[in-house]
Structure 1
Amino acid sequence: MEVQEIITQLQGMSNEKYKANVVKMGIPEANSIGVSTGEVRKLAKTIEKSNALAYALWESGYHEARLLAVLLFDKKTLTIKEAAKLMDDVISWDLCDHLCKNLIVKIKGFTELINEWIISNDTYKKRGAFTLMVADVIHNKKITEDTIDEYLDMVKNYSDDDRDHVKKAASWALREIGKKDFTENEKAILLAHELKEGSKPQQWIAKDALKELENVVKVEGRGRLISADSMMGKEKDE
């Protein structure tokens, strides 16, 4: 399938209301087609993976084409260096998270990027570091306690950042670490209370995280803790 053919398909799926929402996120209107990520995922299932095609879609500049490209890269042949370079073009939190969760975290060596990006001045590289922590904690069944402790240290040491998209990602990482099990939950809560005595961004992160961390339950059949306010969490108490 040719790039222009795919872009034409995406344009045929365009929704003006969704396009307006994408533009609100900071994507230039000229680069937005207006297709939901769900629809992009459906389209990806009909196209064979190809790094050449994915790169061509990425270079088109269209936001939705880049979302699609992430799903079409071959994780077995793409290097972590090549995947990391894509972040240079990212200008929105949704593409940052999509790229990290669906591609980068699945490539060997991604933890090197956490160490590199956590000290970056670039908004989305730093957010990407926290997002990679989230993806690793949620999906890596073999993650070690030492690795989780390293992530907690990073949240502690690099969360003094008042950029909205960074501090929200730091809170997200702290919450997901704390939902792994009750041992990690206790550690995350202790760190959150420590952050409450820190800078204004850290105080915000602590308060945001504690709303969930102090209100989790274990539900049979679920590997991770969940919010007691969720539908499944409420059902547990019935």
Structure 2
Amino acid sequence: MTYQEVIEELHALANPEKVQFKKEKFGIITSDALGVYHADLKILAKKIGADNELALKLFDSGIFEGRLLCSKIFKPKDITEALMETWLVTFENWEICDSFSMGLFSKSPFAVKKIREWSTREREFEKRAAFATLSSYCMADKKSENELFLSFLPIIEREATDERLYVKKAVNWALRSIGKRNIDLNKAAIGLSRELLKKESKVSKWIAKDALRELEKEGANILDYPRAIYRT
């Protein structure tokens, strides 16, 4: 599809009522949105296929849904650090942050480096991107052993006092994702959660309680990704 054809299709799918609904229901506040649901964008992305050149044009259109489409059709292996940083600073809500973090950043060659870097950022959605990327990376990386993922736990502990809604939820998400990677990391994530419970921070306690509720429940879906012995 050409750029103009995609833009026309986006406008054909537009529904201003959806913009307001997403704002009220999901807290998605944005500018230049047409009101197209993510499910419709996934169908359109499949129709388009991978197309880096078109993806860049769609991002530069400034249209919110065009940018979401960009995250779905750009090839992760072709992304550069400069491009990641250019896109990162534009994130204004969790939907676009997570779309790029899960669809592109976690599958890029720079995922680990950016997780570490972005976790120290001040802006809410830049920091969220670190933990949203980490959460998805836990599933995207099927080869790394426990050592790498254990190294992320001190970062989670360090940032577990951030009171901002979309940061604390992402920190919690990352902790749960590490804990579901294999049984050894499950023990490690539970161990950190118990330490977080001891802290004075209400945010740390909330993150810990929510993580434990999922990681300790009977029948929890714990995967069997590559392991190294974890000793308590």
TM-score by length of 2: 0.87
User: Could you tell me how far 1:99 is from its partner in structure 2?
Assistant: 0.0
Give distance in 2, aligned partners of 1:157 and 1:78: 29
In the alignment, structure 1 residue 80 sits paired with structure 2 residue 68:
no
8 Å CA contact 1:120–1:126 kept in 2: the answer is yes
1:179 shift after superposition: 1.4
Partner residue of 1:215?
A: 217
Check conservation: 1:179, 1:216, Cα contact below 8 A: no
- Assess if the C-alpha contact under 8 Å between 2:23 and 2:29 holds in 1: yes
CA RMSD of aligned residues (A): 2.1
Between the two structures, name the one with larger relative contact order (CA 8 Å, sep ≥ 6).
2
Matches of 1:66 and 1:105, distance apart in 2: 17
Q: Are the aligned partners of 1:80 and 1:108 in contact in 2 as well (CA < 8 Å)?
A: no
Structure 2 alignment gaps of length 5 or more: 226-232
- Report how far residue 96 of structure 1 moved: 0.6
1:218 and 1:224 in contact (8 A); partners too: no
Picking from 200, 203, 214, the partner of 2:202 is: 200
Please show how residues 156-195 of structure 1 align to structure 2 within 5 Å.
Answer: 156-195=157-196
Is the CA contact 1:196–1:202 (under 8 Å) kept in the aligned structure 2? yes
SS in 1 for 2:143: coil
> Could you give the per-residue CA deviations for residues 143-185 of structure 1, whole angstroms, max 9, x where no partner exists?
2211111111111112210000000001111111111222211
Mapped to 1, the partners of 2:4 and 2:23 lie a distance apart of 22
Greater Cα offset, 149-158 or 78-87: 78-87
Confirm or deny that 1:63 pairs with 2:64: yes
After superposition, the Cα gap between the structure-2 partners of 1:177 and 1:78, relative to the gap in structure 1 and judged at 3 Å, is closer
List per-residue Cα deviations over 1:78-120 (Å, max 9, x = no partner). 3133123201111011111110111112221221111110110
**Which deviates further from its counterpart, 91-100 or 10-19?**
10-19
Deviation string 1:206-234 (CA, Å, 9 cap, x unpaired) is 11212111204267xx8369xxxxxxxxx
Which of residues 26, 29, 32 is equivalent to 1:27?
29
Match of residue 53 from structure 1: 54
- For 2:145 and 2:182, the matched residues in 1 are separated by 13
Distance change >3 Å, CA 76–CA 175, structure 1 → 2: closer
* 1:103 corresponds to: 104
3-state SS of the aligned residue for 2:35? Answer: coil
Tell me the SS of whatever aligns to 1:170.
Answer: helix
Q: State the 1:59 CA deviation.
A: 1.8
Aligned with 2:92: secondary structure? coil
Quote the residue 1:231 is aligned against.
Answer: none
Query: 2:179, 2:189 within 8 Å by CA — same for their partners in 1?
Result: yes
Q: State the alpha-carbon separation in 2 of the partners of residues 7 and 94 from structure 1.
A: 20
- Distance between the aligned counterparts of 2:69 and 2:187, measured in 1? 39
Conserved in 2, the CA contact under 8 Å of 1:31 and 1:62? yes
Deviates more, 1:171-180 or 1:40-49: 40-49
2:211 alignment partner, SS class: helix
Contact 1:51 1:74 in 2 (8 A): yes
Paired with 1:66 and 1:96, the residues of 2 have a C-alpha distance of 11
- Does 2:128 align with 1:132? no
TM-score, normalised on structure 1?
A: 0.85
Distance across 1 between alignment mates of 2:220 and 2:61? 45
- 2:6 corresponds in structure 1 to 6
Partner Cα separation in structure 1 for residue 112 and residue 82 of structure 2: 12
Identity of aligned residues (%): 32
